[in-house]
Amino acid sequence: MAVSVLLVEDDQNISQLLQMYLEKEGYAVISASNGSQGLTKFRSIKPDLVLLDVMMPVMDGWAVCKAIRAESQVPIIMLTAKGETDDKVQGLKSGADDYITKPFEMREVLARVEAVLRRSSGVTAEKKARRLVYDKLIIDMDAFELIVDGKKVDAPPKEMELLFYLASSPNRVYTRNQLLDEVWGFDYFGDSRTVDVHVKRLREKLEGVSPEWSLKTVWAVGYKFEVNTQ
């Protein structure tokens, strides 16, 4: 069965071009011309991946991304004409897995789609027994739940994957590039600031919860999940 891609893009020329290239690569593409229509189609077809434009009528991409993320962990790639850091950060906060800045080359789009799908299927294949327990902290990748001090805390997929990866090897220091390679994939097209954004968001959820562990910055190197061994 072909991998299904929901393409939500209001520019008809871009939409038709993307659909043509994706279908040429064997993907089954369902298109929508605005955010509201895109959300409706998402709920009816349950696609394997969503390509989501940001600036759209009726309902913008940020709102659609948040609505999808509230009910599904399906991979989402944002399409945006804006390349500023604030827009990229907003996409990550909304729960997007990746973003592509217009104008883009079709081979870049295809590479990102393949990379995101590969990482997503890898997470699914390795879900078994992926549960870590520390004092006042449970990272459950089976249920995709983060429990902090007895309460479920909402966290986007990449925050969960990053925290799980760090906490799986307590006290080991990872560089930003290592984390990009392991969590986002070696062919990720972003930069190391992506890691900083996710760590900052995790710290907002975890700071001061327990004296037995913490998410530490190792200056000029990277990050580690530090566990107090005393």
DSSP-based three-state secondary structure for 141: coil
Cβ(47)–Cβ(73) under 8 Å? no
pLDDT digits (tens, 9 = 90+) for 137-146: 999 887 888 9
Using DSSP, state whether 5 is helix, strand or coil.
strand
Side-chain-side CA neighbours of 153 within 13 Å: the count stands at: 19
Question: Where does residue 53 rank: exposed (0-12), middle (13-18), buried (19+ CB within 10 A)?
Answer: buried
**Higher pLDDT pick, 230 / 113:** 113
Give the end-to-end CA distance of the chain in Å, rounded to a whole number.
53
Question: What is the pTM (predicted TM-score) of this model?
Answer: 0.54
Pairing of strands 137-140, 131-134: antiparallel
Q: Tens digits of per-residue pLDDT, 15-46?
A: 999 999 998 888 889 999 999 999 999 998 88
